[in-house]
């Protein structure tokens, strides 16, 4: 009797493990086939000259040659410059969330409006941004309106200007996401701390710095990660629509360079290699972030 109960127990356990294994196989198979295998292939093909059909093995020298190319460093420089947009894309939404959290009149409507771009394709955002920055666009109308008509910029026609335009559009589109992250964070704040601080006569700024900011640490980290990842991997569409990577290599970022090398120039090996480099940059940034969090705790 007892024995059969134990037997039933262990057969149930076996059944549970078996079901668990079978249930998780489809997800693992899908991810393995479409993301796992290709990342290994990318590693292999990155050391070949590959036109998509025939691959000729060249070895690690492909990387060394790439690192000697000034165009490659120009592309990395563009990525680095775009990172300058990250602090703005975090601090501005933090201020917005702070005001919204204060339940300013109409804050729910404001929230919906600020978050709206999250639903819009980068294709659409890019098209409008292009018109905004164009010579006969709104930016110049605005400048004229405030008496600065003599400036008349055409941001998209110069290399640095075009990168600036992409950066500004990037900040614009991150405002909603980051505001929501901080708003969620501020909703979790401990109110009793505020009351105590106010009773002690602390100034608003002091309260923000000493109470709000430390409690928001986790949310700041999260929005930082999301924004950096977006800066490296989410701008393809924006660049594709707004500038096509130009003028020259002015707005070619690493992710765009992957596409350009493979699909415009037919160098699939080089494209694969640039993808691998992007993967390693993201992995290094990810582990650095992880280490930082660990050390602080």
Partner 1 sequence: MKRFSLGRGFTFVLMLTLAFIMLYPFIFMINTSFKSKAQFFGAPGHSLLSWQKVFTALPVGRQLINSTIVCAGAILIILAVSSLAGFALAKLTFRLSPIFFLGIVGAMLIPLQSIIIPAYINASHLHLLTGYWGAILLYSALGTPFATFLMTSYFRGLPDDLIEAAVVDGLSYTAVFRKIALPLAIPALVTIVVLQFIQIWDDLLVGLLFLQNQDYRTITVGLGALAAGRTTDIPVLMAGSIISAIPAIIVYLIFQKQLVNGLTAGIGK
| Residue selected from 16, 160, 198, 217 as contacting partner 1 according to rule CB under 8 A | 16
| Residue selected from 33, 148, 196, 213 as contacting partner 1 according to rule CB under 8 A | 33
Q: Are 156 and 91 in contact (CB under 8 A)?
A: no
Closest C-alpha to 46, from 24, 67, 63: 63
Write each residue from 256 to 275 as x if it is in contact with partner 1 (CB under 8 A), else as -, in one continuous string: --xx--xx----x--xx-xx
Least distance (Å) from partner 1 to the CB of residue 94? 14
Q: Cβ contacts of residue 286 below 8 Å, gap of 6+?
A: 225
Per CB under 8 A, contacts with partner 1 among 181-240 are 181, 184-185, 218-219, 222, 232-233, 236-237, 240
- Would you count residue 75 as binding partner 1 (CB under 8 A)? no
- Would you count residue 91 as binding partner 1 (CB under 8 A)? no
- Give 114-121 contacts, CB < 8 A, sequence gap 24+: 114/175, 114/176, 114/179, 115/176, 115/177, 115/179, 115/180, 116/176, 117/172, 117/173, 117/175, 117/176, 118/176, 118/177, 118/180, 121/237
- Would you count residue 63 as binding partner 1 (CB under 8 A)? no
Least distance (Å) from partner 1 to the CB of residue 233? 4
Candidates 27-35, 70-78, 146-154, 206-214 — which segment interacts with partner 1 by CB under 8 A? Answer: 27-35
3-state SS, residue 244: coil
CB of 250 or CB of 255, closer to partner 1: 255
């Amino acid at each position: 009797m007892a024995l059969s109960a134990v037997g039933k127990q262990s057969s149930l356990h076996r059944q549970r493990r078996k079901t668990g294994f079978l249930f998780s196989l489809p997800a693992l198979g899908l991810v393995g086939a479409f993301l796992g295998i290709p990342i290994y292939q990318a590693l292999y093909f990155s050391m070949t000259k590959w036109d998509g059909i025939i691959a000729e093995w060249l070895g690690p020298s492909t990387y060394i040659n790439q690192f000697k190319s000034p165009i490659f460093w120009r592309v990395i420089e563009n990525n680095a410059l775009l990172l300058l947009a990250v602090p703005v894309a975090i601090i501005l939404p933090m201020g917005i969330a702070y005001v919204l959290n204060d339940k300013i009149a109409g804050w729910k409507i404001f929230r919906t409006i600020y978050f709206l771009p999250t639903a819009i394709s980068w294709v659409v955002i890019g098209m409008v941004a292009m018109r905004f920055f164009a010579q006969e666009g709104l930016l110049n109308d605005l400048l004229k309106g405030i008496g600065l008509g003599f400036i008349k910029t055409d941001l998209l026609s110069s290399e640095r200007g075009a990168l600036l335009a992409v950066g500004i559009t990037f900040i614009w589109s991150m405002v909603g996401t980051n505001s929501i992250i901080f708003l969620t964070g501020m909703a979790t704040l401990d109110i009793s701390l505020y009351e105590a601080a106010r009773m002690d006569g602390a100034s608003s700024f002091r309260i923000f710095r000493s109470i709000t900011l430390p409690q928001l640490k986790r949310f700041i980290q999260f929005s930082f990660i999301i924004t950096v990842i977006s800066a490296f991997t989410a701008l393809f569409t924006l660049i594709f629509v707004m500038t096509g990577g130009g003028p020259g290599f002015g707005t070619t970022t690493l992710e765009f360079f992957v596409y350009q090398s493979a699909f415009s120039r037919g160098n699939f090996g080089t494209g694969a290699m640039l993808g691998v480099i992007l993967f390693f940059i993201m992995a290094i940034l990810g582990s650095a972030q992880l280490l930082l969090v660990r050390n602080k705790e």
